[in-house]
Structure 1
């Protein structure tokens, strides 16, 4: 082979490379200019909203890191994940937090990173601290971390739902809920927040369940355009209404009764039956017909076109009502809206307060009246006892209070009393209920001593 042939071959290769560069440049031409039209890839990215600015807020640091690392991003991320797990196991919380920040800069749109790390901070790391204030700080860190992910992934429904779960479930139903709910409105860091809430989480100073409901609503709005990957769709979309139930029940547990609590149960019932209950779902069991939770037999017969379709639609309504506990929550709201049930909760709570203050005669009258009202309502709504652990706990708490009062008064309990059937059938639950009641009474006595 002479030098001329070698040179010609190299020139041919060079020409072929240049020829290939032409379509690559045309396809990848960036958009945004006024004179030059965007390339095909840029147009498709804009059409299907796949660009960074379409997905959410752009993080310049993240973009720069990914550019510098080139093809080594995966290796760097795996190393950081391993380091973060090590820091977690060795309880090096500051280092774990900074490592998680580095991971999300490399993978800002990897949703699992945001979900895992926020859950880890709010649930696992917070549990490692002794002080309730420190635990609340880490719960907030988890929620704030997730909010950064929501900003960067503005259209993703999963992260908004997870934010609702941290603020609703973790703050409202943990063992420290009594303190967390108070801290959510009045942050313990008085130097920074001046006795008010942390504005990053609760700008308007609302109840944690109402803030959680707002996040669930945002998740539902986003779910209309992007599929969620957490729960069955009917269950996922039920959470805004479920937050109203949690809010109303929490008010009663906090000793708030009267008009505020009645309105809360009314709102819960209305949201459950007229909004979520009327929402139309197309489910795999009967894809040709839309179903809703509030469908009656007449609705089913009217919607279905054939006998087989009617049978499948009826079964689908029943199955999805069970998935969401739809009938239970509807019945629970009806029961709680009645004045007699409100009186029962109020009297039992006031009996506990009177007992802790050694007003035994008043406490006995209150708890006996509360037990009577409670028993009457459960006879009217017997199906609630099949599903509701909270109502069962309230009933057992009332009987325990009554027994405590009689013991201090030197009286013997009678064999026939309201709620006896529940007491006899729920013996396995009593130790846990008694432990929670004793803890509550001890905290009450300490508060009285402080005053």
Structure 2
């Protein structure tokens, strides 16, 4: 019996429905069982691999579909307009929406963090407000860094995954802290604010100081760094203790507010202000330190520092030290210095990140450079023994940096390498200068090839040392960690400290400091009566010093930057 057209149509629909169900089931199995999901996991292209996911942001991006791009453009325009109108609250809402729609776009986090810390902060007159937005910009960038930690497939890892962060965002956090707290116009004030942000507010509550003077005396004893910085900020002499007590209470009273950036915001939002302390997250605190995941690969020095971390220690509250930890953390995603990325397979290459806008050799030297800056800052403030420890740690870091990055050669090898390099340069000067190639006969001589390899190795080490001024930083740290080096800083601090109260004593201390530098810079120090005789040449090259027959320069004295750093102190003495 022939089927009717209606039955034929029904049968076709049933067949189509069956095929749809069959294909859909096969597609789901194909995706889930291991083909698509496994490939996405292996190549690190799923959203969970790129970084942390947010349910609200993911839903918004899914619903907007192709309208997301135009909406993002309009939000960027709106954020700029709100900034021009100084509508900071609405601007913050807009940029939060932007990061919901572009959570894994690094420039959103990096630019807006920089914008808050550098552009928005300077629009205010009060330093407390400036400090708030500097802290907000740094916290903003740290949130972006935490969200953009990729989880990538790593067959060598016990868990099968490796967490890889963004080195540029991590470097930005360290740079913002170091730059704003040590170079900006309000640096003296910020140096008072930063350790207070690290100190529990109950220890510096000005209301308790007025009620109980013993607590004020205990604060001055327990936190000498903060007290001396406030004394320097207010230009108070050592003997003016009563004036110092009044200034301390007034200064701290202006900061004891719920919006002051602190590691302990709940103590500022207690019963005195009537605000609740609930809902304070780790990234709402300030300052921020690196918080690696447990399975993340980080440098051993950073892991040790974070394991022994204590925010109440003065060295932990230093902006250079906080920056140093972030710089160490930023180096973690980089490949080992001796590893060429081009030699890796694409799967292995994904496990590493390279910094943006900076040569990797300079980027790797940032932690040691920050430690040297910390030693210099402690020396200038008169914390002599602490600065000596910082200089010693800086020297150790520079030494390790030089060895890891092929900037230094083992002392046991250097004599032979120099002998071979000199022989090669004498025999084949045109080849050594890169103007010619080895003759065919010499190219087969193993001894000549070893000489050429020694010449190239020394040449490469010298060239790499010049990239980040490595010799200056290493020799400076090595010099100032010695007792005679740190004595120079002691005399300089005494000179600056006595400049307004006892001019003759200050002049004598300056003289001792300059003579100490003379002894550090010259070998025949008995022949050079004083560094003052060298002062007219302090901005000239080391070759000019070498041409003077009555003394020879040490490695510390041969560096031009050393002379440039000493020149301002000589001018102060004059």
Q: TM over 0.5: same fold?
A: yes
Which residue of 387, 390, 393 maps to 2:561? 387
Q: What displacement does 1:135 show?
A: 1.7
1:293 Cα shift?
1.3
2 CA distance for matches of 1:21 and 1:392? 74
Q: Which residue of 1 aligns with 2:509?
A: 366
Return closer, same or farther for 1:366/1:226 CA change in 2, 3 Å cut-off: same
Q: Which residue of 1 aligns with 2:311?
A: 204
Give the TM-score of the pair, scaled to structure 2.
Answer: 0.58
Q: Which has the higher helix share?
A: 1
Instruction: Tell me the residue number matched to 2:59.
Output: 64
Structure 1 residues 129 and 76: alpha-carbon distance in aligned structure 2, compared to 1, 3 A threshold: same
Q: Structure 1 residue 237 and structure 2 residue 351: aligned?
A: no
Aligned residue runs from structure 1 range 143-162, under 5 A = 143-154=138-149, 155-156=164-165, 157-162=167-172
Q: Which structure 1 segments of 5+ residues have no match?
A: 30-37, 281-291, 404-451
Q: Deviations over 1:324-364 (max 9, x none)?
A: 211111111122223333222222222222122x2223222
Name the CA distance, whole Å, in 2 between partners of 1:334 and 1:56: 42
Query: Is the Cα contact below 8 Å between 1:171 and 1:177 reproduced in 2?
Result: yes
User: Following TM superposition, by how much is the alpha carbon of 1:212 offset from its aligned partner in structure 2, in angstroms?
Assistant: 1.4
**1:365-419 deviation digits (Å, cap 9, x = unpaired):** 22222232234334443223x125xx6355423432x34xxxxxxxxxxxxxxxx
Counterparts of 1:353 and 1:110 in 2: how far apart (Å)? Answer: 50
Secondary structure (helix, strand or coil) at the match of 1:47 reads helix
Q: 1:196 to 1:256 in 2, by over 3 A?
A: farther
Q: How does 1:300-379 map to 2 (within 5 A)?
A: 301=417, 306=450, 309-356=453-500, 358-379=501-522
Give the drift of 1:306: 4.9
Which structure carries more relative contact order (alpha carbon 8 Å, separation 6+)? 2
**8 Å CA contact retained: 2:488, 2:512:** yes
Deviation at 1:124, TM superposition (A): 2.0
Q: How does 1:10-409 map to 2 (within 5 A)?
A: 21=24, 24-29=27-32, 38-154=33-149, 155-156=164-165, 157-187=167-197, 189-192=255-258, 197=263, 199-201=285-287, 204-205=311-312, 206=316, 207-224=318-335, 225-230=351-356, 231-257=358-384, 259-273=385-399, 275-280=400-405, 292-295=406-409, 298=413, 301=417, 306=450, 309-356=453-500, 358-379=501-522, 380=554, 381-384=556-559, 386-388=560-562, 392-400=564-572, 402-403=573-574
SS of 1:201's partner is coil
| Aligned-pair Cα RMSD in Å | 3.3
- Please give the per-residue CA displacement for 1:217-254, whole angstroms capped at 9, x wherever unaligned: 22222224421232222222212212211110111222
Task: Give the secondary structure class of the aligned counterpart of 2:558.
Answer: helix
For 2:57 and 2:69, locate their aligned partners in 1 and report how far apart those are by CA, in whole Å.
Answer: 14
Q: Assess, with a 3 A threshold, how the Cα gap between structure 1 residues 375 and 112 changes in structure 2: closer, same or farther.
A: same
